[in-house]
Amino acid sequence: MKELIKMLAKKLLPLDLLHSPPSFSLKSDISDFKNMHHGETCVVIGNGPSLNSVDFEMLRNFTTFGVNGIFYKTDEVGFIPDYYVVEDTAVMVDNVDRITKYRGKKASFFPTMYKKFFDDRKDRYFFKMDRRFYEQRSYGFEVPQFSRDCNQRIFCNQSVTFINFQLALYMGFQKILLVGMDHDYIIPKDHIVKGHKILSTSDDPNHFHPDYFGAGKTWHDPKLHNVENSYRFFNIAAGIRGATIVNCTDGGKLEVFLRGNLSDFL
């Protein structure tokens, strides 16, 4: 905690970033999205190296969810996702200027604890984030959970993509396609590891752009076993609700979901 506070101070960000306002004090309008896309197909975009092989012209045929540093791909090819989501505090701290200026084409979603960084726009929505998955003293530590009502709260489950999954089902999507989900990380030997936190000292080999978690940026141990457990849990939850997830990633090591190709769903 002390290390994070020092990092925030160096970046001249308000130190109260760590203190989320009481969730009940903020009005949420996420209910506006309930079943908005009933029966439709969406694409949840991961940020692995395989994203560089995706045909972004093809992606324009789908409703899309993008996360975190997807703005690097916007810089490269002009692509902007319909919905944009950020969860991780380290991502917010290291990219606050880019994130606060970036907008999904339809809407952007952030935890209430980041509300103070944004001006008042109708296309920004703030959700009440349940972090017990990360809290060692919690009965929910590393136990996947799924929100039946995103207007009440959304659960963390190791990966920001799980926030997208919960939103996608809440919006009524029947098919959720995945791209860029490589599910494969390495920690370069020159990076500085302190517990579950990692400070990059060189280019990022794990994402589609070298600056994503490039030199000077902080990231967390991805704990892929937790990610995979959460994905297995979601696959069951989605199936109960009549939704199907198909992994259309080019390669990668994620084998929890059915495999397919984007072209199959045009």
Using alpha carbons only, what angle is made at residue 156 by residues 118 and 117, rounded to the nearest 5 degrees? 10
Q: What is the pLDDT of residue 26?
A: 40
220 in a structural domain: no
66 in a structural domain: yes
Q: What is the pLDDT of residue 17?
A: 34
Q: What is the DSSP-derived secondary structure letter of residue 168?
A: H
Q: What is the pLDDT of residue 185?
A: 84
213 in a structural domain: no
50 in a structural domain: yes
51 in a structural domain: yes
5 in a structural domain: no
What is the residue range of 108's domain?
Answer: 30-183+227-255
Q: How many CB atoms lie within 10 A of CB 83?
A: 24
25 in a structural domain: no
214 in a structural domain: no
Nearest CA to 26 out of 92, 120, 104 is that of 120
Give me 28's structure tokens.
């949420």
One pLDDT digit (tens) per residue for the chain, 266 residues: 444 334 433 433 333 333 333 333 344 589 999 999 999 999 999 999 999 999 999 999 999 999 999 999 999 999 999 999 998 888 898 899 999 999 999 999 999 989 988 877 778 999 998 877 767 787 788 778 889 899 999 998 888 899 999 999 999 999 999 999 999 988 888 999 887 788 899 999 999 999 998 888 888 777 888 889 899 999 999 999 999 999 999 999 999 999 999 999 98
State the burial class of residue 128 (Cβ atoms within 10 Å of its Cβ: 0-12, 13-18, 19+): buried
- Dist CA 177 CA 257 (whole Å): 10
Domain count, the chain: 1
Q: What is the pLDDT of residue 65?
A: 98
Number of H helices, E strands in the chain: 7, 13
